Each structure stands twice: as structure tokens, then as C-alpha cells.
Structure 1
């Protein structure tokens, strides 16, 4: 039984204000969404691991992506579970980001964006309950 196992999630500090975030970012034309997710984890959080399942897709508003084609700045994020196997001593954004391991309740409390809380509660927690706990042995 895994009932005694403590599940923690990794969050990073925001470069633009209070609260914590999950690593995220855009993807390049020459990479898949999965490759982009793994790359952003290295760039923003300095971690590598096994990319697991898609947890869901979540819409959010982005001030930096408002333009004539998308005046509301609505973006869609594909959220994945990453089983962290390695924490790098140095990584591209370490000057502006701190990483923090948190329990689920702690993460929900510190999370900056409502859509990320939703991804954690509805995406990760459901996935972990259904099959993640068997995969992360």
C-alpha cells in the first residue's frame, strides 16, 4: 500500500510577483508539446525526470500574449505530470526562480493562479488517485 507515502509537488517562485507557479511556457515550432514541457521544467525549475501523462488542458489569460489576433490574451496550457529524478545544481533561470517542494494542501494555498489550482486538484490529484500512485513506485 502507498498510503504512507507523502506526495509532494514542485513549484517555483514567480519572476513577476508573489505566489508560486508550476513551470510553464510556450513551445517552439520544432518540438512537440511534451518536449516543450520537459524543456520548460529544466529551464525554469532545473529538474529532469520522466514525463508522465497529460493531466489536462487549461485556459488562462496572459498579459504578455495579448495582440490584434487575440485581444483577450487567452492561452491554453497543456499540463503534464513529471516524475522528477534529478535536481540540477545550476539551471537557466536560477537567478530569478526558487524551487520549493510542497504537499498538495500547501501547494493549493501558495498557488498564484486559479487555473493552476484547478490543474492540481482536478488534474494531478485525480490522475494520482486513479493511476499515478501505481506508476510512481
Structure 2
């Protein structure tokens, strides 16, 4: 089955002792931990679309990378359909966390250290992308 394309932001911040923390959000349907992601836009670059998703789903803004950090695939289950989605991931260094944002009532957001964040996500390739941050 051909895969559809999405863009995602991997929100990061520097933590004490110069470590990195990763922001994950809960999905609306199952509550599992994911990164903010959504459909690309014809009116904006993929990195800008990823930043838009982070703003809408996690209420964070900052400096988004122009080049992709990597990608992963997941299966999107919709009623009777299962679609394969390929997500191109962009790093987002968070500068501001809003108290109110578009999807606050539908999602939780939590900062995790790299190791914990990698264990929270289900997709193996996303887990690998998060773990690779420890070497960055």
C-alpha cells in the first residue's frame, strides 16, 4: 500500500546539566504518546507546517529546523480503513509554551528526558530518532 505524507515537529529544550528534554503529546483517539504532526500545506514549507502542528497540538513555538531530522512510519486506523503514513520530522527548539492553545482540551503535553520519551512512543523508527538525540 502506498504511504501518505505527513510532517511532524520534535519539540526539544535544554534541561539542567545541559541535557535535552523531548515534549510529547497524547493522541486524541487512543491517548498514546506521539509528536505533533499533520498534513503538509501547499501554502507553506513542510518545516513551517510542522511548526504549525506544534503550535496547535502542543501550544509551543520556537525555532524550527529547515531540513528534516528523519522520518518514521505508522499505521493510521480510521473506522474500517488502515493507511500507512510516512512522517517527515523536523526538530523544534522550543522558546515559548503557551498556557492556552487550540487542542489543549483534547491533549496532554509532557516533557520527558530522551530515554523516557523513547520508551513512551510506540513507533520503532521514532524511538530511534529520539534516542539519536543523546548523541547530538
TM-score by length of 1: 0.76
1:55 CA drift (Å): 0.9
The count of aligned residue pairs is 119
Aligned partners of 1:54 and 1:79 also within 8 Å: yes
Runs of at least 4 residues of structure 1 off by over 4 A? none
1:125 CA drift (Å): 4.0
Higher helix share: 1
1:76 CA drift (Å): 1.5
Higher alpha-carbon Rg? 1
Structure 1: unaligned runs, 5 residues or longer: 130-137
RMSD after superposition: 2.2
Higher strand share: 2
Q: Distance in 2 between matches of 1:112 and 1:97?
A: 17
1:61 CA drift (Å): 2.2
2:64 is matched with 51
1:62 aligns with 2:72: no
Structure 2: unaligned runs, 5 residues or longer: 1-15
TM-score by length of 2: 0.76
